[in-house]
Chain A
Amino acid sequence: SQKIEQNSEALNIQEGKTATLTCNYTNYSPAYLQWYRQDPGRGPVFLLLIRENEKEKRKERLKVTFDTTLKQSLFHITASQPADSATYLCALDIYSGAGSYQLTFGKGTKLSVIP
């Protein structure tokens, strides 16, 4: 069966350290992998997108890697701050036919950055 696993439901980290979140998937061949941030009571907010032929993507303090052989993505937040505390969602953009793509989400990792 197809699965997207974010292997930590919750992650606590000290302010200033690098947070690393993991996303593994099975039985998918995604065209893109995306990371979102979700705050309580809000919709997800897009952070980064990485294509299947890209190994790494950076945006400010964020870095995403994508290994299609391992079927894994790592999401890093460097110099983490309490304001980074949120739930982070991994999502796969899967081709669903007729030129359309469908976004499928993992369950998310709740990150808490401790001052």
Chain B
Amino acid sequence: SAVISQKPSRDICQRGTSLTIQCQVDSQVTMMFWYRQQPGQSLTLIATANQGSEATYESGFVIDKFPISRPNLTFSTLTVSNMSPEDSSIYLCSVEVWGEGYTFGSGTRLTVV
């Protein structure tokens, strides 16, 4: 199975600022997935990041708000831009391990004040 290192684990940010979340995988993967988990809710897919191409965003999520980078097959970043209190959530990255489901990072707990 894959091991994902995600950081920061938590942050408190001022509204209007941006935060970049990093995920490092210990093996090469084609796709990395970014999820949001709002308080008391389940996980919602934000976007799928492929190396060498633009990320694919789900309905309700746009690149200007959540720009994603995928410079190589083991690393990706998600930026939460121009933050508001409504962006307070846990953000998680994930990769699929064939036949073994998906492995998730430990999450980034974001609080916007």
Using a CB–CB distance below 8 Å, which chain A residues touch chain B? 34, 36, 41-49, 89, 91, 100-108
Contact = CB atoms under 8 A, between A and B. Distances in A.
Contacts of A42: 106-107
Interface stretch (B14-22, B61-69, B76-84, B96-104): B96-104
B104 A41 contact: no
B91 to A, nearest CB: 10
B30 to A, nearest CB: 9
A103 B106 contact: no
Contacts of A48: 101
Contacts, number: 51
A46 B41 contact: no
- What is the predominant secondary structure among interface residues of chain B facing chain A? strand
Interface residues of B, number: 24
B42 A43 contact: no
Contact of A46 (B45, B103, B105): B103
- What is the predominant secondary structure among interface residues of chain A facing chain B? strand
B101 A106 contact: no
B31 interface: yes
Contacts of B6: 43
Nearest to A51: B99
Given A44-B43, A100-B48, A49 B99 contact: yes
A102 B31 CA distance: 11
Contact of A43 (B31, B44, B48, B92): B92
Contacts of B103: 46
Contact of B101 (A43, A49, A100, A104): A49
